[in-house]
Amino acid sequence: MTDMHHVYMQQALDLAAQGQFSVGTNPMVGCVIVRDGDIVGRGWHERPGEPHAEVHALREAGAAAAGATVYVTLEPCSHFGRTPPCADALIKAQVARVVIAMQDPNPLVAGAGISRLLEAGIAVEVGVLAAPAESLNRGFISRMRRRRPWLRVKLAATLDGRTALANGVSQWITGPAARRDVHRWRAQSGAILSTARTVLADNAKLTARHEMAEQQPLRVIIDSRQQLTPAHPFFLETAPVLLVYAGTREDADDLHQWPDHVERCWLPALNGRVDLNALLEELAVRGINNVWTECGPELAGALLAVGLVDELVIYMAPKLFGSSGRSLLQLPAFEQIEQVPELIIKDLRLVGEDIRVTAIPQVVIGETQS
């Protein structure tokens, strides 16, 4: 039966992944209901405020749910949010068993849904395909457990590790397929993090131009020097913007009239710049699970130095810019090989003519932002 548990749970995970572009602040969840060896109900969570995966599956199963086994990728909720508790719906349907991939890290649930099912006499098994379930919702888990989103830093470089020519010209290093891939990553993210310097240098829009994008990510722009004004073309795009400044509102220049889709936020300063830990905590409070970062070598290096980078996504183009080209990351000068940060390569693949490397940093380089 364990093998079939894995088969049905994998189907539930595949269903859950269909919500990757639309669930917003919620986790991705899939559900499969099985009775007498046949799948009688399927469902996944599609959008915030809409029915959860279990409810969709129960509706499809109808009366066949009674006495059935339910496979769900995340512990059924036990509290009233924008929808009623799924644990109660399962109890009402008189299911016999619930197989759960992982316990919900949300403190509002965190085992309460499992307890409610057990108290109702429903058999419960937890931990089937837990690792892929956690990987699927690593951003949501990060926000619940670490109080900060999962942060990816995107970098694009030539094979000799250069991001621009000496004169600053960088468009385009990578090919069309890699750029389309970037838009897919953007569309799956709750926020895109960058700096005013990058917006000004690249005339960047930082929107998700992908056919599956149902809503635009929050564009989070660090602008400690208040370089951007409402007249910049960046603000013609109506995708939401959060301008982040270092210090207090008393330091602000309030001479400008900002569009409605722009919000400004003042966060503590560290060495004269925005405290990056405070920034990620602020994004977590706003319900952001995943942050996609596109920036220059200075911010990328600073995030890596203080241990806030969870993943590096590096596109390597089959080009050579030479020794005068600009470097990939701004990091401290290392004097010993033991100081050099190590990475674990998680994925390596061709995207068009470019190589995409996904890597996990293993160490914190320093204690302060550079």
pLDDT in tens, 78-132: 866 666 789 999 999 999 999 999 999 988 888 899 999 999 999 999 999 999 9
Binding residue per annotation — 31? no
Mean pLDDT computed over 235-253 = 86
Query: How far apart, in whole angstroms, are the C-alpha atoms of residue 53 and residue 90?
Result: 11
Binding residue per annotation — 77? yes
* Residue 208 · residue 202 · CB < 8 Å: no
Residue among 277, 281, 275, 218 nearest 246 (CA): 275
Strand positions, DSSP E, 166-239: 191-195, 218-222
Residue among 154, 160, 273, 166 nearest 204 (CA): 154
CATH 3.40.430.10 location in the chain: 147-361
* Residue 153 · residue 304 · CB < 8 Å: yes
- pLDDT bucket at 50, cuts 50 / 70 / 90: confident
Give the angle 44-48-54 at the CA atoms, nearest 5°. Answer: 30
According to the model, what pLDDT value does residue 79 have?
67
* Residue 273 · residue 246 · CB < 8 Å: yes
According to the model, what pLDDT value does residue 369 have?
39
Q: Does domain 147-361 have CATH number 3.50.50.60?
A: no
3 state SS of 306: coil
- Name the CATH architecture for the domain at 1-138: 3-Layer(aba) Sandwich (3.40)
Q: How far is CA 170 from the centre of its chain?
A: 26
The enclosing H or E element of 143 equals helix 138-145
CATH 3.40.140.10 location in the chain: 1-138
Pair of tokens at residue 353: 């003519």
Query: How far apart, in whole angstroms, are the C-alpha atoms of residue 218 and residue 207?
Result: 9
Binding residue per annotation — 198? yes
Residue 167 has pLDDT above 80, yes or no: no
- β partners of residue 218: 191
pLDDT, tens digit (0-9, with 9 covering 90-100), for 325-363: 778 888 777 778 877 788 999 999 999 999 999 999 986
Give the angle 295-368-185 at the CA atoms, nearest 5°. Answer: 25
Binding residue per annotation — 156? yes
Report the 10 Å Cβ neighbour count for 170. Answer: 18
Residue 63 has pLDDT above 60, yes or no: yes
According to the model, what pLDDT value does residue 370 have?
31
Residue 201 has pLDDT above 90, yes or no: no
According to the model, what pLDDT value does residue 56 have?
96
Who wins on pLDDT, 369 or 349?
349
Candidate list 46, 50, 54, 211, residue with the active-site label: 54
| Alpha-carbon distances of 142 from 3, 127, 265, rounded to whole Å | 30, 19, 23
Binding residue per annotation — 282? no
Who wins on pLDDT, 31 or 159?
31
DSSP string, 160-221: TSEEE-TTS--TTSS-HHHHHHHHHHHHT-SEEEEEHHHHHHHT-------TT-SSPPEEEE
3 state SS of 266: strand
Residue among 138, 134, 182, 131 nearest 156 (CA): 182
Mean pLDDT computed over 195-200 = 94
- pLDDT bucket at 163, cuts 50 / 70 / 90: confident
54: annotated active-site residue: yes
Who wins on pLDDT, 193 or 81?
193
Angle, in degrees to the nearest 10, between helices 2-16 and 53-61 = 110
Indicate the pTM of the whole model: 0.90
Binding residue per annotation — 172? yes
According to the model, what pLDDT value does residue 365 have?
53
The enclosing H or E element of 113 equals helix 112-119
Mean pLDDT computed over 5-31 = 95
Q: What are phi and psi of 325, to 5 degrees?
A: -70, 160
Binding residue per annotation — 150? no
According to the model, what pLDDT value does residue 368 have?
37
Query: How far apart, in whole angstroms, are the C-alpha atoms of residue 179 and residue 130?
Result: 32
Cis peptide before 44 (omega within 30 of 0): no
Residue 77 has pLDDT above 50, yes or no: yes
Least trusted range by pLDDT, from 72-76, 214-218, 289-293: 214-218
Mean pLDDT computed over 54-64 = 95
Q: What is the mean pLDDT of the chain?
A: 90
Identity of the residue numbered 137: N
